[in-house]
Amino acid sequence: MPGLLKEHIAVVTGAGSGIGRAIALGYAREGAEVVLLDINGKAAEDAAQEIRDAGGAAASFALDVTRHEDCVAIAKRVAEQVGPVSILVNNAGIARRNGMLGATDAVIKDWQDVIAINLTGVFNATQAFLESLRATKGRIVNIGSIQSFVHIRQPSSPAYTASKHGVLGFTKALAVELGKHGVRVNAIGPGFIETPLNAGTRANNPDAVKMFIDHTPLGRAGKPEDIVGPAIFLASDLSAYVTGSIVMADGGYRAV
């Protein structure tokens, strides 16, 4: 059913890689004009070019979501150069995995960086695009995690778990506040998805990978493409009465 997102302008953060890149390409296939934002401006532009080469519409901008003033400046440029944004996917994120008992400097840096990108970054981009989203009665899709609900024992990552719990809490708060303005806000909870984010774990920690797969009823890791369907659903009119929810795309991990 192509064309589900025709007439929409969709912004995707962290769109240069992994899940964000797949969502951007998927939205373009559904007819959206896509704005790809990433701290790695070249990666975002390469993905935008791939969309244009396939006949879609895309623009890209370099953006570090931790910088609120930059988010505001990019939102202004997007409004002027592309148009009113009706879909925002808060996807940019990092995973650092030092437990609380790790080296003090590493633990502190993990906390500061992970919260700044995964949680404050979601706030920053949302706040910057809010005027446009209200005007268009838009949709926000936040990327949570299994760790929006539970902690993964190994490798331990308290900052990541806290950040993703925060993303779900922020999703609910926004959904409640923006509902009467016609803006829907939901999240997706991916399971273990093979992207550059966990390339190190996959290369160096087979025990952790086995733990994930053994715990996953579908018996496999996910691919970025596995997140695209839920992301289209939550951005389109198919989910017109869905807000404040999280769609788990985790191979059943949380059912066990």
Q: Which positions are catalytic? A: 160
Name the minimum Å distance from CB 102 to ligand NAP: 19
Q: Which stretch binds ligand NAP (CB under 6 A): 69-77, 114-122, 130-138, 177-185?
A: 114-122
- Contacting ligand NAP (CB under 6 A), which of 10, 65, 133, 248? 65
Contact 143, 246 (CB under 8 A): no
**Residue 57: which of 18, 5, 16, 19 has the closest Cα?**
5
**Among the residue ranges 23-31, 46-54, 93-101, 177-185, the one whose residues contact ligand NAP (CB under 6 A):** 93-101
Q: Shortest gap between Cβ of 178 and ligand NAP (angstroms)?
A: 21
Using alpha carbons, list the distances in angstroms from residue 51 to 45, 54, 84, 143.
Answer: 10, 5, 20, 22
> Per-residue x/- mask for ligand NAP, residues 24 to 63, rule CB under 6 A?
--------------xxx--x-------------------x
- Spatial distance between the Cα atoms of 70 and 62, rounded to a whole number of angstroms: 10
Q: Which one of 2-10, 46-54, 89-97, 150-158 is the stretch in contact with ligand NAP (CB under 6 A)? A: 89-97
The per-residue b/e assignment along 204-236, b for 16 or more CB within 10 angstroms, e otherwise, is eeeebbeebbebbeeeebbebebbbebbbbbbb
Nearer to ligand NAP, 31 or 99 (CB): 99
Alpha-carbon span 230 to 190, nearest angstrom: 10
Closer residue to ligand NAP (CB): 31 or 228 = 228
Q: Which residues pair with 139 in a beta bridge?
A: 87, 184
Binding-site member from 82, 197, 211, 242 for ligand NAP (CB under 6 A): 197
Per-residue binding letters, 143-172, with ligand NAP (x by CB under 6 A): x-x---------------------------
Distance CA 107, CA 136 (A): 41
Tell me the residue ranges of DSSP E strands in 3-123.
9-13, 33-38, 57-62, 87-90
Tell whether residue 251 is a contact of ligand NAP (CB under 6 A). Answer: no
Q: Which helix (H) or strand (E) holds 248?
A: strand 246-249
Helix (H) or strand (E) holding 113: helix 104-114
Site residues for ligand NAP per CB under 6 A: 13-14, 16-20, 38-40, 43, 63-66, 91-95, 117-118, 121, 143, 145, 190, 192-193, 195-198
